[in-house]
């Protein structure tokens, strides 16, 4: 988990506010603060993670995670998060747990050893990642 003082995602007297630059500023911050350290700690690369449950801050935000200079995820790795955004919209930072839950509910015979990561970020700027392995 990490916290970066920021006002690009915030609440004020008018409600929830997103700065115009949120799309390009948040993904690299989240990746550098909580994703890459988790991958490095476990000697993993992004392509080792088959299940990505990313907070759906919008399709533009999700697409940032595919850029090689940010994380280089494939379209397949972000597809589930994009699907949830398309079907339900931005449900704030807990949305990543709904994506995770969809993986959890799948009936697959060969889950053993499959790796996944849950990544969330929100106002403030709080961010976290969780790495899991199916046993």
What residue ranges of the chain have pLDDT lower than 50?
A: none
As separate numbers, helices (DSSP H) first and strands (DSSP E) second, the chain gives: 5, 6
Residues 51 and 103: beta-carbon distance below 8 Å: yes
Q: What is the reported pLDDT for 1? A: 72
Specify the pTM.
0.83
76 vs 89: CA distance, rounded Å: 19
pLDDT of residue 125: 67
């Amino acid at each position: 988990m990490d916290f970066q003082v920021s006002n690009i995602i915030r609440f004020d007297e008018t409600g929830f506010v997103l700065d115009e630059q949120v799309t390009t500023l948040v993904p690299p911050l989240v990746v550098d603060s909580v994703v890459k350290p988790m991958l490095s700690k476990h000697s993993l690369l992004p392509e080792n993670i088959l299940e990505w449950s990313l907070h759906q801050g919008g399709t533009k935000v999700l697409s940032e995670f595919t850029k090689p200079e940010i994380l280089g995820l494939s379209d397949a790795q972000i597809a589930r998060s994009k699907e949830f955004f398309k079907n339900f919209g931005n449900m704030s930072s807990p949305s990543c747990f709904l994506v995770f839950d969809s993986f959890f509910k799948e009936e697959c015979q060969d889950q053993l050893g499959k790796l996944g990561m849950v990544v969330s970020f929100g106002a403030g700027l709080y961010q976290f990642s969780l790495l899991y392995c199916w046993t």
